[in-house]
Structure 1
Amino acid sequence: MPRVIAYRAFAWNRAVGDDRLGGARYVNRAKQGSGRHDSPMTYGVYYCAASEESAIGELLQVYRGQTLTSGELLRFGFPLALVEIEFADANLIDLDDPAQLIAHKTRPSIVASTQRNRTQELARRIFYAKADGISWWSTLVADWTNYSIFTIRDAVGANIRSAPVELTLARPSVAAAAGKLGIRLAKN
């Protein structure tokens, strides 16, 4: 099984370890349930992406058509940060592959649906088929690849490859994601 290098954007509490609330590896299953592939009674989900731009864009999408200020790069009083994580031996089902869509008896319209009951049911079926997660295209920018990786799988081991980096308006990947989503950056 291939290793997966992923980028995760999250609200970073510098005072805690990676596995605590605000840490790079922490997934708060109690707060999950409304996300695309959530099933908190069964598993937690690392929402990650194949690129910095995609990971950041997924968080910034709520500002489409607006001007992004540095204040919007905070969540719950903590700065947004980006970390690179390696998932060793991750068996991800690529839902951009027609053969995988057929194998999992689904359609692209289900993968990209805004109806969470449909996407969550698909994720549960894939979970019960013993996969470690899902690779799929972003519904924001089809060129972006996102990963939903089930936290409960022991084989997936989330290894931090880089220290978290606080997001700023000056970061090129913030500017690139904002540009693709029609978000203006405030002038400092």
Structure 2
Amino acid sequence: MTTEVYLVYLAAVAVFFATPPDTSQLLIIANSMKHGLRRSLWVIAGDLSANVLQMTAAAFGLAAVIATSATAFSVIKWLGVAYLVWIGLRMMMSKGGSGRGQTATGRPARLFRLGFVTSMTNPFAVVFFAALFPQFIAVDAPILPQLLILGATYLVVDGATLLLWGWAGDRVAARLNASLATINRICGGLMIGAAALLGLKDITPQR
């Protein structure tokens, strides 16, 4: 992979994230508003950990299985939708608590699991990586180092983007000066919005 090809890849990934918020970004916005940015770093860690497994699956050809099995794709996707709706409704019905970031739902393990499960139940991601990476790999050079570079670059850009959205969500919540119950309702609505975006995903590569 030449420097020119890598820069084209970097630009492509940057453009991919320079769009309105998607499922993972709405997730980090909602949790940063509810728990604060620092605790929501666990959500980002869970999301990126799932991405690593999805990239590995794509590298081993599991994307072809998902792409050719409409049933498998739909089952995984709708489990994710149901999970997000359930979390969103729980947030909306919560009466609040002692303050932002001080509720039991803000435990690191729970936030990591939320980010991980939400990302893993998006089967489109595996197909996306399987379609993206080969476009930038030089077949006359060792494949594994190139995959590691492409994967690491994606994770860095994705992590930076999520961090930016999380910071924005944290700042908005701080400036709203609203009750925690109101913040919960807003965050619950964002989670249900994330579920709707996931539900609209199909096997065709699109944002």
Interval of TM-score (by shorter of Structure 1 and Structure 2): 0.3 to 0.5
- TM-score after normalising by structure 2: 0.31
Q: Which structure's relative contact order is higher, taking Cα pairs within 8 Å and 6+ residues apart?
A: 2
Name whichever structure is richer in strand by fraction. Answer: 1
- TM-score after normalising by structure 1: 0.33
